[in-house]
C-alpha cells in the first residue's frame, strides 16, 4: 500500500527508512551475496532492483503482466519472475539487469522455486492446477505436473530431492519427487494454505505451512 520496501534490523527489531520502489510491490528476493533485493511491482509490470547497502532503488526492469513471485538462482546469476497475467516467467540477468525472453508456463503462475543445483525452475500455475518445470540454460518448459486445486506456494528441500506445493483450493500440500517429477499422495492441512517454508535442520528438515 505504500509502494515501498523497508529494512528491519534483525538484531534490534527496528525498522529503517522506507525505500520507494514502484506500484503495489508484491514479492522480493535477495541475491546470495546479500547485495541486491529484487522487488516485483504488479501494478506496472516491472521489477525494481534495490542496492541494500545504500537503500538505493535502480531503474525498473520491464517484465510480463502482473509479476508475482520471484526467485534467484543459487549462483546469483539469474532472477526468474512469474508473470501471473501473462502465463509466463521472465529471466533477468543479474549482472546487467536485462530481462530475457519470456518463457510460457501455465495459467496464472504465482510462485517459483529453484533446485539447489540451479538446473531447474519450478513454477506454480494456480488456474491450471499444475506445476511447470523449466530447465535452465537453455530455458525450456517441460511437461506440467498435476497437483491440487489453486497451487500458490512452493518450496524445495535443502537436498533438492523433494518439492512441496501448497494447494489453497484443496486445503492440501502435494509432495513431488524431483528425480521423477512424480506427485505423491496429497497431505491434508488447514484451510487455504498460502505459504511454505522448509527448515535446514538435519538429518530431517521440517516443513512449515501457513494455513
CA distance 61 to 48: 6
Q: Does position 10 have pLDDT exceeding 90, yes or no?
A: no
Residue pair 37/27 in contact (Cβ under 8 Å)? The answer is: no
pLDDT per residue as tens digits for the range 81-111:
999 999 999 999 999 999 999 999 999 999 9
Which residue bears the cell 506456494?
Answer: 153
pLDDT per residue as tens digits for the range 18-49:
999 988 898 999 999 999 999 999 999 999 99
Q: Does position 204 have pLDDT exceeding 90, yes or no?
A: no
Quickly list H helices, 91-157.
Answer: none
Whether pTM exceeds 0.75: yes
> Contacts for 189-193 with beta carbons within 8 Å, 24 or more apart?
192/168, 193/152, 193/153, 193/166, 193/167, 193/168
Amino acid at each position: 500500500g505504500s509502494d515501498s520496501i523497508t529494512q528491519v534490523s534483525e538484531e534490534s527489531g527496528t525498522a529503517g527508512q522506507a525505500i520507494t520502489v514502484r506500484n503495489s510491490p508484491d514479492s522480493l528476493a535477495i541475491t546470495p551475496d546479500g547485495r541486491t533485493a529484487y522487488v516485483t511491482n504488479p501494478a506496472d509490470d516491472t521489477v525494481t532492483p534495490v542496492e541494500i547497502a545504500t537503500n538505493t532503488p535502480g531503474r525498473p526492469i520491464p517484465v510480463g503482466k502482473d509479476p508475482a513471485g520471484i526467485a534467484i538462482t543459487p549462483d546469483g546469476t539469474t532472477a526468474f519472475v512469474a508473470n501471473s497475467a501473462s502465463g509466463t516467467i521472465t529471466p533477468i540477468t543479474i549482472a546487467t539487469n536485462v530481462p530475457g525472453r519470456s518463457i510460457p508456463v501455465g495459467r496464472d503462475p504465482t510462485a517459483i522455486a529453484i533446485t539447489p543445483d540451479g538446473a531447474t525452475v519450478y513454477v506454480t500455475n494456480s488456474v491450471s492446477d499444475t506445476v511447470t518445470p523449466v530447465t535452465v540454460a537453455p530455458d525450456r518448459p517441460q511437461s506440467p505436473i498435476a497437483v491440487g486445486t489453486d497451487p500458490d506456494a512452493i518450496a524445495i528441500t535443502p537436498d533438492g530431492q523433494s518439492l512441496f506445493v501448497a494447494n489453497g483450493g484443496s486445503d492440501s500440500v502435494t509432495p513431488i519427487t524431483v528425480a521423477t517429477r512424480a506427485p505423491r499422495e496429497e497431505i491434508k492441512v488447514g484451510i487455504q494454505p498460502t505459504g511454505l517454508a522448509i527448515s535446514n535442520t538435519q538429518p530431517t528438515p521440517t516443513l512449515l505451512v501457513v494455513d
